[in-house]
Amino acid sequence: MSKTWLITGASSGLGRLMTERLLARGDRVVATLRREGVLDELQQAHGERLLVLKLDLTDVAGIREVTRQAFERMERIDVVVSNAGYGLFGAAEELSDEQIDHQIATNLTGSIQLIRAALPHLRAQDGGRIVQVSSEGGQKAYPNFSLYHATKWGIEGFVEATAQDVAPFGIDFIIVEPGPTATDFAAGLVRGAPMSAYDATPAGDVRRALADGSFEIKGDAARTVDAMIAAADAAKPPLRLALGSTAYSGIKQALEERLRMLEAQRDVAFSADVD
């Protein structure tokens, strides 16, 4: 049976590829993007099975209106894919206030408001699924990506709590955590003003690795999207889905290290209880 999907950030990267894959198998897609005309060829090829709507995730009123239009025009949406976002690159003090505000407004607040806008419609239709595209960076952290990580760690906490709120309504979530993947993510990075003070630090190391191409990218975009679709089709998918060997290894190492540090603090933790 065909499904209907709402996908944000569908103009490029994983969102574009997912849109193409789903249309090719006969599903219907509401694709949102900021730049008009990007999906004209797909629109001509697939007609009414593709609805393209303009959306900027920093516009909260726009999120609500576009979500309303999507559900109204398609009558039912089975899967909402919160995919839109970008990376802000630079050590914390290299970033401007405006860059920080925009990163949070897009990746974190925008994703939260999209989910909030979809929930009443999903409840009204007795359920559905929300796929939140996060990153391995929602479980671990790289130098030079502090604000990007802040948004990804933040949205993962929001989703984990909200999933418990809405489970009785037949609404469930998948948090997708890809590792570094061959998309245009790096090209779309917004960069702070580099400070020479960070040249000989881990932040400088990551900056140079991206510049000279030595930052290893193992993830395949097509295989990543195929795994995302398969998980969204599954009867009981996991809450979190790590994709790529880098994501699996990095998240595993980060969790093991946090657990090791927690276990070392057991006596101190228990000592803070009421006697």
Please answer whether residues 192 and 88 qualify as being in contact, where contact means their C-beta atoms are separated by less than 8 angstroms: yes
Please answer whether residues 177 and 138 qualify as being in contact, where contact means their C-beta atoms are separated by less than 8 angstroms: yes
Please answer whether residues 191 and 144 qualify as being in contact, where contact means their C-beta atoms are separated by less than 8 angstroms: no
Per the annotation, the verdict on 152 as an active-site residue is yes
CA distances from 179 to 14, 130, 139, 241, 243 (A): 13, 20, 11, 11, 6
Tally of residues, the chain: 275
Report how far residue 59's alpha carbon sits from residue 172's, in angstroms, rounded to the nearest whole number: 25
Per the annotation, the verdict on 196 as an active-site residue is no
Per the annotation, the verdict on 148 as an active-site residue is yes
Sign of the alpha-carbon torsion through 58, 163, 150, 189: negative
Catalytic residue among 140, 146, 148, 198: 148
- For residue 275, give the 3-state DSSP assignment: coil
Report how far residue 141's alpha carbon sits from residue 153's, in angstroms, rounded to the nearest whole number: 9
Report how far residue 257's alpha carbon sits from residue 221's, in angstroms, rounded to the nearest whole number: 29
Strand partners, 181: 219
Q: What is the 3 state secondary structure string of 117-141? A: HHHHHHHHCCCEEEEEECCHHHCCC
Please answer whether residues 48 and 42 qualify as being in contact, where contact means their C-beta atoms are separated by less than 8 angstroms: no
Catalytic residue among 82, 134, 135, 146: 134
Q: Which two tokens stand for residue 102?
A: 């925009």
Catalytic residue among 11, 140, 152, 198: 152
Report how far residue 58's alpha carbon sits from residue 4's, in angstroms, rounded to the nearest whole number: 25
Catalytic annotation, residues: 134, 148, 152
